[in-house]
């Protein structure tokens, strides 16, 4: 972990593009230890907001691995990968409206699944999006979709998210 931490501190963009994104977005889903490692690094190291923004946009979009040319897909959302995105959002990166809309659509899609509706990790991600990016959600026209999604949640955060959305 210390080697990777040092590398991330010194070469954060390269680590995002050549290490984190390929681990999380290849055709095989990432393992729980891989997700925990990436999450721990994001939480513990002062990565510049620009690099976090790049990381969030890359894990939400299909693409090509620049190094190998292999296809990369959107990061799958098993329960162990959701905290990665939550940790990124809690660092307040500068996300463009397209990324916000894409994230909103992903949350809406996943909220229809009963497993996600009951997941505290998913609700925490949803809450982080609403509390950190509320004004941007309002201007991007995503509030109606998020209101519908928040009603589907079956966790204690559902009502808190709904009340936060109404304040926007």
Please report, for residues 9, 100, 105, 158, the alpha-carbon distance to residue 56 in angstroms, rounded to integers and kept in the order given: 18, 10, 14, 24
Tens of pLDDT along 44-60? Answer: 998 999 999 999 999 99
What would the two tokens of residue 99 be?
Answer: 């990324």
Structural domain including 151 reads 96-168
Q: Are residues 29 and 85 in the same domain?
A: yes
Q: Are residues 102 and 71 in the same domain?
A: no
Three-state DSSP string of 23-90: HHHCCCCCCHHHHHHHHHHHHHCCCCHHHHHHHHHHHHCCEECCCCCCEECCCCCCCCCHHHHHHHHC
Tens of pLDDT along 76-116? Answer: 999 999 999 999 999 999 999 999 999 999 999 999 999 99
Q: Are residues 101 and 83 in the same domain?
A: no
Distance CA 105, CA 149 (A): 10
Q: Are residues 119 and 89 in the same domain?
A: no
């Amino acid at each position: 972990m210390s080697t990777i931490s040092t590398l991330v501190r010194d070469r954060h963009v390269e680590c995002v593009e050549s290490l984190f994104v390929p681990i999380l977005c290849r055709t095989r889903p990432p393992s729980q230890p891989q997700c925990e490692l990436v999450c721990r690094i994001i939480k513990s190291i002062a990565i510049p907001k620009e690099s976090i923004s790049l990381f969030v946009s890359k894990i939400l979009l299909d693409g090509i691995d620049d190094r190998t040319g292999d296809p990369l897909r959107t990061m799958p959302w098993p329960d162990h990968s959701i905290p990665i995105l939550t940790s990124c959002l809690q660092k307040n990166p500068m996300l463009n409206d397209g990324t916000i809309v894409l994230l909103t659509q992903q949350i809406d899609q996943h909220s229809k699944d009963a497993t996600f509706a009951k997941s505290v990790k998913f609700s925490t991600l949803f809450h982080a999006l609403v509390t950190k990016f509320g004004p941007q959600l309002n201007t991007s026209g995503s509030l109606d979709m998020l209101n519908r999604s928040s009603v589907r949640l079956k966790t204690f955060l559902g009502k808190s998210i709904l009340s936060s959305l109404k304040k926007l």
